[in-house]
């Protein structure tokens, strides 16, 4: 496994194993990295103030991909067709399907509820907080607006429906299950929800969780009925930098709290190849191989984590 992590000191770290030990190396510096998506050797990074950066060699070299908006708070790479997505503040959505050129998906601007979108800390604006292309159907796309709701497209973004029934409004993270088609998950400031009909309708998933403000999520790649969220008592507790605190939960027909080595906010999650990875607000990368029951540090103390993406290390090119 290879992990890419955005940190609060304007760096992107690559965490990987060498000779049985894990190391963290800075592969992109001097940019305010806010979001990252990795797929094989491609790494796409969204920044505040500098648009997007793309690496085609796992972070060894970078190219700047210009966008009409400089603040990019969400990125994604489709597992279905390889398309790259970027979401900005104010809320605009872009796609690159054939190379490096960005095309705006302008239908996002036509959603009826758009005049009511507003991000509470900066009420004059709002942003695309999360982009989730369906890994099974390239034309299906979920987009979370903070604060505005969860939007749906089944034609690659040519059109969008408004906020989906039953979904939470304050979207923070969205994920599709990688192997079970039609199952999707949402973490939001007003709770968590799940869809089992391809993102059309959503049901709340809040039973057993004592902290209401959900932030990060990751599905278990094997079992669609098991997934993980992090949560805090509210936005102040969740986003207090290195002092932020919260808990990690696992869904097993209800939320079960998991014991981490500290009470630091689990700010980013990734589950892949039998491992669960947690990036914390105080700068730790934790790994569990037993569904969150026990933990080990991957790379010691690093800088506070903002976002994270994990991928299996690609095989060497023959």
**Is residue 177 one of the residues assigned to a domain?**
yes
Torsion angle defined by CA atoms of residues 237, 242, 243 and 245, in that order, rounded to the nearest 10 degrees: 50
> What residues form DSSP beta bridges with 96?
84
Asked if residue 103 has pLDDT above 80, the reply is yes
Which of 57-71, 227-241, 280-294, 303-317 is least confident?
303-317
User: Is residue 29 scored above 60 in pLDDT?
Assistant: yes
In the chain, how many domains are there? Answer: 1
Q: Where residue 314 falls among pLDDT bands split at 50, 70, 90?
A: low
Residue 40: inside a domain, yes or no? no
Predicted pLDDT at 315: 57
Q: What angle do CA 156, 306, 88 make, to 5 degrees?
A: 35
Q: Residue 27: what pLDDT? A: 96
55: in domain? no
Is residue 39 in a domain? no
In this predicted structure, the answer to whether residue 113 has a pLDDT above a threshold of 90 is: yes
Give the pLDDT score at 316: 55
**C-alpha count within 13 angstroms, C-beta hemisphere, residue 169:** 11
Helix ranges (DSSP H) in 21-135: none
Is 0.75 surpassed by the pTM of this model? yes
Does the pLDDT value for residue 43 go beyond 90? Answer: yes
What per-residue confidence (pLDDT) applies to 42?
95
Question: Per-residue pLDDT tens for 244-287?
Answer: 999 999 999 999 999 999 999 999 999 988 899 999 999 999 99
Residue 215 in domain:
yes
Contact between 268 and 216 (Cβ < 8 Å) = yes
| Chain CA centroid to CA 264, Å | 19
Residue 25 has pLDDT above 80, yes or no: yes
User: To 5 degrees, how large is the angle CA 231–CA 232–CA 235?
Assistant: 115
- Provide the domain limits for residue 152: 73-300
pLDDT in tens, 212-230: 999 999 999 999 999 999 9
Is residue 242's pLDDT more than 80?
yes
How many beta carbons lie within 10 A of that of residue 237, not counting itself? 17
- Residue 152 sits in a domain whose CATH number is 2.130.10.10
- pLDDT(23) > 90: no
Cite the DSSP H helix spans in the chain: 235-238
What are 145-187's pLDDT values in tens digits?
A: 999 999 999 999 999 999 999 999 999 999 999 999 999 999 9
Instruction: Give the three-class secondary structure for 108.
Output: helix
pLDDT for the residue numbered 40: 85
Q: What is the mean pLDDT of residues 69-79?
A: 97
For residues 185 and 171, is the Cβ–Cβ distance under 8 A?
no
For 112-138, what is the mean pLDDT? 96
CB 296 within 8 A of CB 286: yes
- 60 found inside a domain: no
């Amino acid at each position: 496994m290879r992990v890419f992590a955005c940190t609060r000191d304007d760096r992107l770290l690559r965490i990987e194993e060498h000779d049985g030990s894990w190391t963290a190396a800075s592969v992109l510096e001097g940019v305010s990295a806010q979001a990252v998506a990795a797929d094989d050797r491609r790494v796409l990074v969204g920044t505040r103030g500098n648009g997007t950066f793309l690496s085609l060699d796992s972070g060894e070299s970078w190219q700047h991909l210009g966008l009409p908006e400089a603040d990019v708070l969400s990125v994604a790479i489709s597992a279905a067709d390889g398309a790259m997505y970027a979401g900005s503040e104010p809320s605009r959505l872009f796609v690159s399907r054939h190379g490096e050129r960005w095309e705006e998906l302008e239908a996002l601007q036509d959603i009826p509820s758009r005049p009511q979108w507003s991000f509470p800390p900066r009420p004059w604006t709002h942003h695309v907080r999360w982009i989730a292309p369906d890994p099974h159907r390239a034309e299906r796309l979920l987009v979370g607006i903070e604060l505005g709701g969860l939007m749906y497209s089944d034609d690659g973004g040519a059109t969008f429906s408004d906020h989906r029934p039953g979904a939470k409004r304050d979207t923070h993270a969205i994920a599709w299950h990688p192997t079970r088609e039609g199952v999707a998950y949402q973490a939001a400031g007003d709770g968590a929800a799940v869809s089992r009909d391809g993102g059309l309708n959503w049901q709340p998933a809040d039973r057993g969780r004592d902290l209401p403000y959900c932030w990060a999520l990751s599905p278990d790649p094997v079992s669609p009925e098991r997934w993980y969220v992090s949560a805090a008592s509210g936005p102040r507790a969740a986003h207090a930098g290195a002092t932020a605190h919260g808990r990690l939960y696992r869904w097993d027909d209800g939320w079960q709290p998991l014991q981490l080595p500290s009470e630091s906010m689990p700010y980013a999650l990734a589950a892949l190849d039998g491992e669960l990875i947690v990036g914390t607000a105080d700068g730790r990368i934790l790994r569990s191989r037993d569904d969150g029951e026990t933990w080990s540090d991957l790379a010691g103390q690093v800088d506070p984590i903002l976002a994270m993406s994990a991928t299996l290390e690609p095989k060497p090119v023959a």
